[in-house]
């Protein structure tokens, strides 16, 4: 009989140690929140499943201090070649505006997980492998979870909150009774991690398809470049399953018993000959494939939950939304889920916000999930990301996940200044050309924000700084002086002076004028940046105290509940 033991209560129990669970743990630990991270698998899987890294994700990792390690391991994605019936139909170049600090990149999922795991371990949290969530219950003060550990023992854990990052077949989602509406694509696909000797442009993916007489796609090859080839070029290739491997045509049955046909199936392993046959049919020119690292059959569904959480239990990533991999949106969307939820949990756990703040997770992120599911389904049925969009710049920014916005939401302050300028709820754009009195080189705004976990107040202009609250709850303050003093009419900010300004916090000069160009301040202006890099408020600088008080009112809409074990619980 399994024995049951009780353990100390962490602030948050995270179930699932893929990229989303690891990102949740990383953000929570950065915010000084205790957490346990469990995963039922005994080891990290060696599969290059989710491989596309979006520029927005790289911005998040920059703020965490992780991005350098990622850049050293990843390869750039420069574009995609589209072939239809053997002819080149389009060439999509992945080009972003110059102010965006990162481009698109590719990295095998197991490498992403390795880097995140090492980062989280450096913050004091280690994955508890071979540990499975059996069930959970929640009440007014916390969540009681029952785990089965790697040694077969059953363990009861009490936590303030539970976050399910446990994938498409999520135990947490099922335990909450969330609906997961959608459907499955009828096609079966196979994935393979291989090398090839073709001479296609470096850094470009390939999407090659064949149309039947009625215009439907009856053959498909998608290739994404990966790092780490042994002389030839390495790709993750996906294609339709041949008849001999199809469950619908007499092959082994599809795995899974929960009605969600999504993900890899270990019972069917395509061989190198299966991959070579598709390459022979659809590659733009003759090529030989080799070095098969792994392969699998997989199915694709499109589903989304009816809500992202219930009281003290939440879902994120594939536990909340699944969809076609077109455009590499899934893992990146899940990482943004994690970042959005973690800072809210941290503020509530520290008593700096009421629990009502956590309803903003569903309010902000579920519309994003719905849009991503709908868009990827459209692109999957339209032969990939369209190359002939009416506005290619907007299309590229959206695929890079740089247009995600919470404007008009309950956590966004009122608009101020030009409507087409960054407003509350929008991503806070990066910019370059900031100078300081000591640094002999220009800085980016990301350099200024890196490592910070709380809200940051950016004061643009030379108006006198407002005093911090007596209770110390005022955000970190950064002052950005205009390129010249004359631009705000302030006589006390000398051109070229990046030295100290009393009460102004860290001081930088907008020497290149890029901050003013991108943020379009309307005179001396304040910008309150959330911990996840979105604008919480924008306001005239002389109204700073009023704007900060209004934002605190939003955060403190309800009193924080006592944590498990507190005298008041």
32-91 residue pLDDT tens: 999 999 999 999 988 888 899 999 999 999 999 999 999 999 999 999 999 999 999 999
Given its phi and psi angles, is residue 290 left (phi above 0), alpha (psi -120 to 50 degrees) or beta? beta
Q: Please check whether residue 221 is in contact with residue 278, taking contact to mean a CB–CB distance below 8 angstroms.
A: yes
pLDDT digit string (tens) for 57-73?
999 999 999 999 999 99
Q: Please check whether residue 14 is in contact with residue 163, taking contact to mean a CB–CB distance below 8 angstroms.
A: yes
Measured CA distances, 373 to 171, 206, 533 (Å) = 21, 22, 23
Q: Please check whether residue 144 is in contact with residue 137, taking contact to mean a CB–CB distance below 8 angstroms.
A: yes
pLDDT digit string (tens) for 442-488?
999 999 999 999 999 999 996 544 444 433 457 899 999 998 754 44
Average per-residue pLDDT for the chain: 87
Per-residue pLDDT at 1: 39
pLDDT digit string (tens) for 489-503?
333 333 334 444 445
115, HSE (Cβ side, Cα atoms, 13 Å)? 18
Per-residue pLDDT at 187: 83
Dist CA 155 CA 132 (whole Å):
10
The burial of 392, by beta-carbon neighbours within 10 Å (0-12 exposed, 13-18 middle, 19 or more buried), is given as middle
Taking CA 427 as the corner, what is the angle to CA 337 and CA 114, rounded to the nearest 5 degrees? 45
Dist CA 260 CA 522 (whole Å):
51
Write out the DSSP string of 154-203.
EEEEEESEEEE---TT-HHHHHHT--EEEEE-S--EEEEEEEE---PPTT
Of residues 263 and 234, the one with the higher pLDDT is 234
Q: Which of 100-114, 133-147, 221-235 is predicted least confidently? A: 221-235
- Answer whether residue 306 shows pLDDT above 90: yes
pLDDT digit string (tens) for 362-417?
999 999 999 999 888 887 766 555 544 558 889 899 999 999 999 999 999 999 99
Identify the CA nearest to 48 among candidates 237, 261, 321: 237
What six digits make up the tokens of 171? Answer: 């135990």
pLDDT digit string (tens) for 180-205?
998 888 888 999 999 999 989 999 99
pTM of the model: 0.90
Per-residue pLDDT at 327: 76
What six digits make up the tokens of 55? Answer: 């520029």
Burial 535-562 (b: 16+ CB within 10 A, else e): bbbbbbbebbeebbeebeebbbeeebbe
Q: Please check whether residue 354 is in contact with residue 302, taking contact to mean a CB–CB distance below 8 angstroms.
A: no
Mean pLDDT of 517-542: 96
* Residues β-bridged to residue 105: 53, 76
Above pLDDT 90, what percent of the chain? 72
Residue 548's pLDDT band, with cuts at 50, 70 and 90, is very high
Q: Which of 83-87, 246-250, 530-534, 538-542 is predicted least confidently? A: 246-250
């Amino acid at each position: 009989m399994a024995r049951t033991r009780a353990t100390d209560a962490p602030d948050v129990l995270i179930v699932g140690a893929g990229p989303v669970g690891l990102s949740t743990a990383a953000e929570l630990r950065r915010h000084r929140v205790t957490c346990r991270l469990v995963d039922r698998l005994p080891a990290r899987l060696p599969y290059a499943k989710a491989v596309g890294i979006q520029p927005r994700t790289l911005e998040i990792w920059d703020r965490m201090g992780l991005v350098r390690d990622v850049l050293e391991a990843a390869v750039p994605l420069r574009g995609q070649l589209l072939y239809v019936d053997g002819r080149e139909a389009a060439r999509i170049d992945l080009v972003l505006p110059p102010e965006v600090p990162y481009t698109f990149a590719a990295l095998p999922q197991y490498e992403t997980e390795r880097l995140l795991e090492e980062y989280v371990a450096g913050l004091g949290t280690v994955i508890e492998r071979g540990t499975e969530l059996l069930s959970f219950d929640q009440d007014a003060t916390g969540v009681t979870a029952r785990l089965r550990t790697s040694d077969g023992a059953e363990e009861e854990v009490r936590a303030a909150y539970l976050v399910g990052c446990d994938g498409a077949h999520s135990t947490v989602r099922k335990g909450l009774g969330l609906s997961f509406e959608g459907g499955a694509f009828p096609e079966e696909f196979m994935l393979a991690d291989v090398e090839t000797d073709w001479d296609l442009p470096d850094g470009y993916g390939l999407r090659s398809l064949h149309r039947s007489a009625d215009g439907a796609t009856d053959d498909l090859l998608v290739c994404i470049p990966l790092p780490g080839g042994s002389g030839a070029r390495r790709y993750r290739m996906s294609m339709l399953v041949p008849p001999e491997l199809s469950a619908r045509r007499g092959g082994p049955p599809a795995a899974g018993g929960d009605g969600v046909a999504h993900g890899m199936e270990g019972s069917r392993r395509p061989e190198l000959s299966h991959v070579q046959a598709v390459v022979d049919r659809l590659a733009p020119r003759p090529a030989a494939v080799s070095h098969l690292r792994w392969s699998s059959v997989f199915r694709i569904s499109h589903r989304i939950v009816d809500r992202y959480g219930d009281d003290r239990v939440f879902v994120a990533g594939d536990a909340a939304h699944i969809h076609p991999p077109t455009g590499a949106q899934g893992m990146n969307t899940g990482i943004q889920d994690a970042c959005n939820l973690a800072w809210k949990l941290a503020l509530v756990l520290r008593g700096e916000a009421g629990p009502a703040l956590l309803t903003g997770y569903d309010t902000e992120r579920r519309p994003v999930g719905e849009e991503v599911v709908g868009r990827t389904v459209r692109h999957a049925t339209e032969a990939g990301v369209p190359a002939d969009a009416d506005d290619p710049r907007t299309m590229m920014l959206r695929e890079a996940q740089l247009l995600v916005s919470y404007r008009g939401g309950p956590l966004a302050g009122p608009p101020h200044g030009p409507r087409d300028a960054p407003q509350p709820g929008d991503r806070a754009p990066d910019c370059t050309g900031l100078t300081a009195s000591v640094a002999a080189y220009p800085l980016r705004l990301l350099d200024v924000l890196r490592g910070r976990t709380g809200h940051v107040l950016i004061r643009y202009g030379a108006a006198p700084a407002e005093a911090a609250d007596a209770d110390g709850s005022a955000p970190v303050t950064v002052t950005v002086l205009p390129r010249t003093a004359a631009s705000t009419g302030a006589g006390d900010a000398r051109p070229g002076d990046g030295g100290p300004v009393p009460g102004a916090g860290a001081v930088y000069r907008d020497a290149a004028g890029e901050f003013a160009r991108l943020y379009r301040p309307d005179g001396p202006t304040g910008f309150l940046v959330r911990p996840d890099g979105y604008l919480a408020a924008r306001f005239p600088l002389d109204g700073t105290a009023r704007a900060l008080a209004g934002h605190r009112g939003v955060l403190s809409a309800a009193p924080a509940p006592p944590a498990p074990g507190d005298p008041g619980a």
